[in-house]
Amino acid sequence: MGAVADTHTLDPHFSVDWSERPVMYAIYNTLVSATPTFEIAPELGRSWKISADGLTITVSLQPNVKFHDGTVCDAEAVKWNIDFILDKANNSPQFKQLDPFLSGVEASGPTTVVFRLKKPYAGFLAAFTERPGFIVSPAAYQKYGKDFGRNPVGTGMFQFVEWLPDDHVSVKRFDGYWGRSKASLDGITYRVVPDPAVRDTMVRTGELDITSEPDPKDIAVLQKSPGVKVVSENPSGHWWGVQWRVDRPPFNNKALRQAIAYGIDRGEFVKVMLGGRGSIANGPTPSIVWWYSRTAKGFSYDPDRAKQLLAEAGYQNGFSAQFSTDNTPVGLQFAQLLQAQLKRINVTLTINPVDPSNLYQEVLQQKVNWTRTDWTLRADPDGLLRILFYTGNYANSTGYSNPTVDKLLDQGNSTYDRNARKSIYAQIEQQVIDDAPYVWVFYPSEDAPMRTTVQEYAWIPDSVPRYRSLWLAK
């Protein structure tokens, strides 16, 4: 399969890059999984029970599960993984996803794990469908230490074979897999091919069986190509936009941020970049999930209002800044279209192309300020909104801090009443839209070009491709 960018680590306890997740879903199992409708389903955990007060969650594990190294994946192994994340000394990025809510975990039997919560947390199980839920081999971790990320050992359908940086990661079928459904493929090779046009051509020629994130202008050609099909999710749970540091000059100026937001013609982005295959993004939540708010009001395209706000921000004579983007054809196209649009309101962009494998790392290290960004949904609204907007959270790379939003996030995850939560998240969405730590631009159609022999591919709203259950027709 064709991958957009290389990985930095295959250790889920330290993973932060999107490009690592498709590989990890092959090597590891999560404690629970998310369905294509974003419901929580069994995986390593076969069933669970939530106490009446919401403070205890008891998970029953699948029996007779083994890691690729032959060691047993039981309740003690799950406890070891959670304890590792909760140990502040380990500095896991997943710490801030669990520590605010989880006081401890117990192995009360070989296949029974008990989670003790500090307070009710409606999004708790959903958190274990992604990085905090990937269960690694404690024995392998102790064997490899800091090198575990290049020697990953899980319980998944596929086991690690090799990683050649900037070229590929390969895995092979794990014949000792515990589940009823075994892998049909002998192996998967994740080939790093940053250029979407090249990936698309490789699918057409048969060099790749499947890829994701094609160039939108190639879709029509791919759909008509012999031996090729495209599986789509439109609208998707994946948004594109821009972000900046709101805690330091020059973007600590709200009027400046809003001026730029009014200066972006989202309809033109959907037409030019996506060929109409997508939709305008007013905020971080698309219409495909239950917490979507019909009342959320985003920034319309209004150049006159943009110029007025620019003057109020103190930039009567215009504003100039560097804009960083991934050095890919679509990343550069995004930046160039943004550059042309903002020139109309006297905002000048200098484009700084960055290797796609390094862009997010440079954002986290604050080496860049104003950047292109994209994120995908999580199985619970708290999952994404909290990591991006709660003060000090690990993925809060904008420096955003709003006590009202923090309070609402805490209220939203402390009740299991879905209607009450929906109302709370609508308030959060409107507040972050107005504060503009991000400016949302569009939701692309999520498309997966593949050979017609590829079977059983399905999108999940988090837009992370799962390849482990695929099979090839003869």
Report the pLDDT value the prediction gives residue 357, as an integer from 0 to 100.
87
Report the pLDDT value the prediction gives residue 344, as an integer from 0 to 100.
98
Domains, in order of start, for the chain: 7-145 (3.90.76.10), 238-444 (3.10.105.10)
Report the pLDDT value the prediction gives residue 10, as an integer from 0 to 100.
97
Structure tokens at 227: 């031996």
Report the pLDDT value the prediction gives residue 5, as an integer from 0 to 100.
83
Count Cα atoms within 13 angstroms, Cβ side, for 175. Answer: 1
DSSP state of 237: S
Strand 347-354: give its sheet, edge to edge: 278-280, 438-444, 238-243, 370-376, 319-326, 347-354
Structure tokens at 171: 């895995």
Q: Buried (b) or exposed (e) across 160-197, using 16+ Cβ within 10 A?
A: beebeeeebbbbbbbeebbeeeebebeebbbbbbbebe
Cβ(266)–Cβ(442) below 8 Å? yes
Q: Tell me which residues of the chain have a pLDDT lower than 70.
A: none
Report the pLDDT value the prediction gives residue 421, as an integer from 0 to 100.
97
Cβ(129)–Cβ(40) below 8 Å? yes
- Selection from 250, 309, 300, 305 nearest residue 280 by Cα: 300
Report the pLDDT value the prediction gives residue 385, as an integer from 0 to 100.
97
pTM of the shown model = 0.87
Angle at 435 between CA 430 and CA 441, to 5 degrees: 75
Report the pLDDT value the prediction gives residue 38, as an integer from 0 to 100.
87
In sequence order, the 6+-apart residues with CB closer than 8 A to the CB of 118 are 55, 100, 101, 102, 103
> What tens digit of pLDDT does each residue of 278-323 get?
999 999 999 999 999 999 999 999 999 999 999 999 999 999 999 9
> What tens digit of pLDDT does each residue of 358-376 get?
999 999 999 999 999 999 9
